[in-house]
Structure 1
Amino acid sequence: MGSELVWRWCVAGNGLMRCFYNNNTTAIAKASSLYLSSPKPKPKILILTPVPPLALVRITRSSSSSFSLNLGQGYSSSSSNENNEKRKKKGGREYLEMTEQELMRECEMDTFKASGPGGQHRNKRESAVRVKHIPTGLIAQAVEDRSQHMNRASALARLRTLLALHVRNTVDIHTYSPPPDLLAILPLKSTLRSSGPQIGPNNPKFLLGMQALLDLILAVDGSVSEAAKYVGLSTGALSRLILSHDSLRMAVNQLRASKGLKPLK
């Protein structure tokens, strides 16, 4: 791994004030001693690495963590590793149940200029919004409004749809019973449904039902006829439900293609 380099970073506002590194530990000690004895703010972060940093890390005034870097790898910290492990344990349903604020904490957001409505006023500001969901890598954007706030809300709504379509929950088909979210989007002819209106695509709860249906179809290896048996519908009735929603149809056909099955039409 080679000699260790010691980096001392001092947080100042939103940036880093000073950084020491050297293969010579004596030089490090002298430099650090001089710096620590100065009237300047003292370092809050100690980083031990075998190589210089590969990228800058954004550190806020309140940040205080110990980072380590292995050769050829990126930065990590005990706190960020714990957060990443928690994120990995989350299922798709948990993402959909998050509030807007909770979901934003899982995302990176950037703004940009894009063509759109507004005539002479368009493109005057970076009102278009792009959000990236860090745990899954899914990206959604909105450009149609001149309000950045409105575009952020639209981008998050589209991200929720992507999470429903592409993030699966584990299903034990041997003990499977359709969850209420799935039953709610089924037509009334389902033998498992209770009374109440069928939830349609315009209802925010439809995403939970759509996600649950995709979980089931994946669990039965893409077979719509098998999935229909578990939800109390005929194959034709379930196929019509799938085909009535373009995004759902495309997601089901992707699952079927991965299993070597023909697409629904």
Structure 2
Amino acid sequence: MSEPTIPLGAPEPFRRHPATLWPEVLLEQCEVTTGRASGPGGQHRNKVETKVVVTHRPTGAIGEGSESRSQKRNHAAAVQRLRVNLALSLRGDGLADPRVRELIEARAANGLKVSDQHVDWPAVLAATLDECALERWDVKAAAQRLGVSPSRVVRVLKTEPRAHTLLNQERAERGLRPLR
């Protein structure tokens, strides 16, 4: 039985995972709402709508930013969080997308090292998870496809604790030992 995938709505011959889309392109599929953030921050935070929630219409995935007093910074944080949430929740075709394959090949030279704040991070996370899923959560096989070591794959997934948890849950379902 193969891993479940959802139609990602991209042009043939490949499907583009929403987490790999540039933020501007992804926002065309999203609804953006603003509101007042709660918590400390003084009068500016309590009277101005700085909280930003970005909802991906096709999937219902949400990204939220409210930690800054700047709506612009919160918007960027919300989009990045949405892309990470999409990377965690949807499985795509991994390296089938030429843009993603090119990105991974360029990043593999330095072991897929990328800051979790960088615009490429959600695409790297999505591709890593997709390749693990395509290889039935065998990290060694996924690492070969990605052109990095198995320990580097685990380190990439540990950068986002929910991804590491997902990896170990999927491995446990298949009778594989959890990875630290």
TM-score normalised by the chain length of structure 1: 0.52
Query: Out of 109, 122, 125, which is 1:210 matched to?
Result: 125
What is the correspondence of 1:55-134 to structure 2 with a 5 Å cutoff? 88-90=8-10, 91-93=15-17, 96-100=20-24, 102-134=25-57
Q: 1:237, 1:140 → 2: CA distance? A: 27
Cα drift, residue 218 of structure 1: 0.3
Larger helix share, 1 or 2? 2
Higher RCO, 1 vs 2 (CA within 8 Å, ≥6 residues apart): 2
CA contact (8 A) 1:107 1:133 kept: yes
Question: Which residue of the partner structure matches residue 144 of structure 1?
Answer: 67
Alignment partners' CA distance in 2, 1:186 and 1:133: 29
* 1:182 paired to 2:97: no
SS at the partner of 1:130?
A: strand
Structure 1 residues 147 and 217: alpha-carbon distance in aligned structure 2, compared to 1, 3 A threshold: same
Select the structure of larger CA radius of gyration.
1
- Of all paired residues, the percent bearing the same amino acid is 34
Aligned to 1:146, what secondary structure does the other structure show?
A: coil
Return the alpha-carbon distance in structure 1 between the equivalents of residues 155 and 70 of structure 2.
38
Alignment gaps of 5+ in structure 1: 1-86, 191-197
Structure 1 residues 99, 181: closer, same or farther in 2, change over 3 A?
same
Separation in 1, partners of 2:157, 2:77: 24
Q: Return 253-262 or 152-161, whichever deviates more.
A: 253-262
Q: 1:131 to 1:203 in 2, by over 3 A?
A: closer
CA contact (8 A) 1:184 1:209 kept: no
Change (3 A) 1:171 1:148: closer
C-alpha RMSD of the superposition: 3.1
Relative to structure 1, is the Cα distance of residues 125 and 244 closer, same or farther in structure 2, using a 3 angstrom cutoff? closer
Aligned to 2:3: none
Which secondary structure does the structure 2 equivalent of 1:252 belong to?
helix
Q: Which runs of 5+ in 2 are unaligned?
A: 1-6
Q: Deviation per CA, 1:235-255, whole angstroms, max 9, x where unpaired?
A: 344334433443442343344
**What is the rounded CA distance, in whole Å, between the counterparts of 1:254 and 1:157 in structure 2?**
24
Question: How many corresponding residue pairs?
Answer: 166
